[in-house]
Chains A and B, each alone.
Chain A
Amino acid sequence: MLEACNLCGACVPVCPEDALSIEEVKRATEIDPSEWRGIWVFAEQRRGEIQSSTYELLGSARGLAGKLNVPVTAVLLGNDVKEPGSLLSAGADEVLYVKNAALDHFGVEPYSKAIADLIAERKPEIVLGAATFIGRSLLARVAIKVHAGLTADCTGLDVDIEKRLLLQTRPAFGGNIMATIICPEHRPQMATVRPKVMKPLAEPYDSKGSVTEMAADSPSNRVKFLDFVADDTSQINIAEADVIVTGGRGLQNPKNFAIIEGLAGLLGGAVGASRSAVDAGWINYSHQVGQTGRTVSPKLYIALGVSGAIQHLVGMQSSDFIIAVNKDPNAPIFKVADVGIVGDLFEVVPKLIEEIKRRKET
């Protein structure tokens, strides 16, 4: 039987000789959950740098591990990763580092194979990854390979200690509802978690474990990686940013994004854009916040000249603190703003920049 066979059974009725049958194998639904222990975090690295979302996940995993009384394992794939030991102090009891030149750059096929193999061998009860472009594409394939439940883009994680179930809470229907999801009969229980929602540990974790390097058996990859082109307009990407300053239609023309960039630069933040600013061709789509763009939850979100269509609000209303400046007192953005200023952004923002500079100097 081919390794790729997933027992879907499609071959049986189409065989002209009636030669095929599928033996009833032990189904995943009949697994014994008590054989599955421990929490895994997929440690995401890009160009050798471990991503901040990984440290957030480790922070969250420690909380869950305390309740379940199990260790936390960071699973790292790569070839030349800087400071894999940082995963220990960030909360991991052990680090499994699968090291192979073919894993240097992310490839969904070799990555999903390596992780699925490890899961089958070591049986963790929970596997977490960040809901990044990589994490979401990767874990979706891993979950099929290991026949696990996978919940996307969670914003809350907890455990039912008695039943040892991961309680996965996430927004759905564009953020209009929240749902709590469990995976009762399959293991592992897998989830991707929205970046910036979980907090990394405040103090370094006193880990007793170490980094174990493991070899992967020559992973194959049908997808050829040709190049990576960095988005030249985003020094800081909006998904990872603590501060986002967003411009909307109120900017009137693309040149005025300089105002947004000025304030964002001063606050060490990223530049966001509303759908109408992107559709007008003023700025690249990768800056778009909202349902058709990116969902973000930074510590500070400043909306300038953004009216706040519902599709925009669902993409940013989980931000910690929201400031909005808009000429229209009835703009829906004010419904979610902690501080709303009815005014002209072209007058307010230069004053604000002055004021911030003054305070930073004193």
Chain B
Amino acid sequence: MRFVVCVKQVPDTTEVRVNPETNTLIREGVPAMVNPFDLYAVEEALILKEKFGGEVVAISMGPPQAEEALREVISMGADRAILISDKRFAGADTWATSYTLAAAIRKIGEFDIILTGKQAADGDTAQVGPGIAEFLDIPQATFVRKVEELDPVKRTVSLQSMWEEGSEILELPLPCLITTVKELNEPRLPSLRGKLTAKKAEIPMWSFDDLGVKEEEVGLKGSPTQVIKIFPPPPRAEGELHADVEPAEAAKIIADKLTEKGLL
């Protein structure tokens, strides 16, 4: 079986700020990491591979330094990785990203399950997974919290997809795409051997010319949406802090506020 995992290198989002004067992103000194949600996708792919055999292929679209993220995934146990990188891919929104990744997956060839994190921690859109599934015309299950059973003979996978008030139990035919949430598993740490393998691994880079994509459908040009402004979130009004109050007094303060705000 072939499991394709899509990963993204993201900045540590807790460190990203907007310069309030220029309204531009301050990226300097912000460490990069593998999108945390993608680690659940990697782990699940590794679990499935260990059970059913085959290979785990990781792909990432990004600048050349995104290769680091792929090395990390190899150190966890992925068999190989491909970096999708070209200046013409830069500035892609979710439409153009899904299109480009789908083209890369087609080039990889046959596959059984594509796994992605539920969303990337920087953009938080949760749109690229379903977008890839749509471009490849395959079924999808999003926000998967449990893989129940993969039947390699029937070529189906049954799983639990998370909803606000519970879970849907679904059965999908292979090939399909799933997006993963934290509850699914506990991502493993890289082993020492994995780290050595990752260090030596050759990571091919596929560019625009390798994918047979159209220039007007990739990158900024191929993106229907445009960011026109970024700004810091409005600060919350300064609150009141009560220290050294008796519990009964504290309860009154809270209840008064709730009454005042009509929340009781």
Contacts and interface: CB of A to CB of B under 8 A. Distances in A.
Are chains A and B native binding partners rather than an unrelated pairing?
A: yes
Interface of A: 4, 6, 8-10, 12-14, 27-29, 46, 108-109, 112, 132-134, 136-137, 140-141, 143-145, 147-153, 167, 171-186, 222-231, 234, 237-240, 243, 267, 285-286, 288, 291-293, 299-300, 310-311, 314, 317, 321-323, 325, 329, 334, 336-344, 347-348, 350-352, 354-356, 359-360
8 contacts: A9-B214, A108-B130, A140-B128, A144-B134, A174-B14, A177-B233, A180-B229, A341-B250
Given A184-B226, A228-B168, A13 B212 contact: yes
A4 to B, nearest CB: 4
A10 B106 contact: yes
B47 interface: no
A339 B240 contact: yes
A186 B142 contact: no
A9 B167 contact: no
B134 A150 contact: no
Contacts of A228: 163, 166-169
Where chain A touches its partner, the secondary structure class is: mixed
Interface of B: 11, 13-14, 16-18, 25, 36-37, 93-95, 98-99, 102-103, 106-107, 121-131, 133-135, 137, 139-143, 145, 158, 160-173, 181-183, 212-214, 216-217, 223-233, 236-237, 239-245, 247-248, 250-255, 257-259, 261, 263-264
Contacts of A342: 241-245
Contacts of A317: 233, 236
B183 A325 contact: no
B212 A178 contact: no
Contact of B264 (A27, A177, A344, A360): A360
B103 A179 contact: no
Nearest to A5: B137
Give the one of A147, A186, A288, A292 with max B CB within 10 A.
A292
A273 to B, nearest CB: 13
Given A9-B213, A222-B173, A321-B261, A180 B164 contact: no
Given A176-B13, A229-B167, A237-B165, A144 B131 contact: yes
A287 to B, nearest CB: 11
A321 B258 CA distance: 9
Contacts of B255: 352, 355-356, 359
B216 to A, nearest CB: 7
Given A112-B134, A343-B250, A153 B125 contact: yes
A228 B225 CA distance: 35
A183 B225 contact: yes
Given A150-B94, A338-B257, A339-B257, A109 B139 contact: yes
B143 to A, nearest CB: 6
B127 A152 contact: yes
Nearest to B173: A222
A351 B95 contact: no
B142 A340 contact: no
Nearest to A224: B171
A143 B127 contact: yes
Given A149-B223, A177-B16, 16 more contacts: A140-B134, A172-B123, A173-B25, A174-B122, A179-B230, A183-B226, A222-B172, A226-B171, A231-B165, A238-B164, A300-B258, A339-B254, A342-B244, A352-B251, A352-B255, A355-B251
